[in-house]
Amino acid sequence: MTGVGVDAVIPGAVVALLDAADADTLLRDAESLAEGLVDAGWTPEVESGRFSAGGWDVLSSAWAPAVSVFLDGDAREVRRAALSVAAALTADADGWRFETEGPDWSRWSVDDERWDADEIDWLQWRGRGVVVSLFTAPETPAGPGTLPAHLQLAIERADTPEEGFTPDEARDRRIVVDGSVVERWFLVGSPGLADELLTALENDPDPRVCAAADSERWMRERSPDEPSTSV
């Protein structure tokens, strides 16, 4: 896929991530997910599950392994990037099966009038045991301000239930005690993580886990109704 000529519009890390998207490798488990993202050119941040590259951000989770890639900014540049992602996936015709319930905006130009007139829906590609979903939105009102134009590229296992998985406190406790550093780092941002387990992770022997837990605690204290970060 790296030869489709999109690298000038989207970072090589995005192209490499699409190349690596596979349920048996990238999305196999926590260790594979972290290693695959780093190998693709993404840099881990302090927050649990967060990576970055070239002005793009990744939020990821390990149970079940999943990745959401985000970009926001000028509407035309966001559209151009979304079209480049779609072109990269479409160019790999043998690897992906395309589907959408709405208009196929992957074939529009950046200045097509339908961006503003039509209701944009998710585009999806299936293959390699994963589902790749792509969405873009213009600047939208949000409370007293606005949300900038943005895109989201989600990569999930095809066998993940639509409603996701329920919290598993027994697993969480096992990981706090016996999990790897990578598993504990991902666990910090796991939805439904018990407060006492977050406290234990704040005192983890690895500084990366401690830093992620401190960040999660800071967010919990400012968002009491949303105690954890999820993809």
Torsions phi, psi of 150, nearest 5?
A: -155, 165
Question: Is residue 224 scored above 80 in pLDDT?
Answer: no
Q: Alpha-carbon distance 90 to 79, whole Å?
A: 16
Q: Report how many domains make up the chain.
A: 2
Closest of 47, 76, 49, 41 to residue 150, by C-alpha: 76
For residues 27-48, give the mean pLDDT.
98
Nearest to 39 by CA among 49, 51, 28, 55: 51
Quick check: is 78 in a domain? yes
Report the C-alpha gap between 123 and 131 in whole angstroms. 10
Same domain, 179 and 132: no
Look at residue 5 and tell me whether its pLDDT is greater than 90.
no
What are the φ/ψ torsions at residue 64 (nearest 5 degrees)? -75, 150
Is residue 2 pLDDT above 50, yes or no? no
Residue 155 pLDDT exceeds 70: yes
Q: Which of 106, 122, 157 is the last residue of a domain?
A: 157
Of the residues 157, 188, 208, which one is the last residue of a structural domain?
157
* Residues in Cβ contact with 214 at an 8 Å cutoff, skipping those fewer than 6 apart: 202
**Assigned domain for 2 exists:** no
162 assigned to some structural domain: no
140 and 44 within one domain? yes
Domain span including residue 214: 169-222
- Say whether pLDDT at 56 is over 70: yes
In a domain, 231, yes or no: no
**Do 69 and 182 share a structural domain?**
no
Our CA dihedral for 69, 74, 77, 83, rounded to 10 degrees, sits at 60
Q: pLDDT (tens digit, 9 = 90+) per residue, 79-90?
A: 999 999 999 999
Asked if residue 227 has pLDDT above 50, the reply is: no
pLDDT tens digits for range 61-72: 999 999 999 999
Question: 141 and 200 share a domain?
Answer: no
Phi, psi of 44 (to 5 degrees): -65, 140
Angle at 40 between CA 128 and CA 100, to 5 degrees: 40
Residue 150 falls inside a structural domain? yes
pLDDT of residue 33: 98
Confidence grade of residue 162 (pLDDT, cut at 50, 70, 90): confident
> Nearest to residue 184, comparing CAs of 10, 12, 30?
30
Average pLDDT over residues 181-206: 97
Please give the residue that has the higher pLDDT: either 3 or 16. Answer: 16
In this structure, the answer to whether residues 104 and 66 fall within a common structural domain is yes
Same domain membership, residue 218 and residue 110:
no
Mean pLDDT of the 154-177 span: 92
* Model pLDDT, residue 229: 38
- 94, part of any domain: yes
Residues 144, 199, single domain; the answer is no
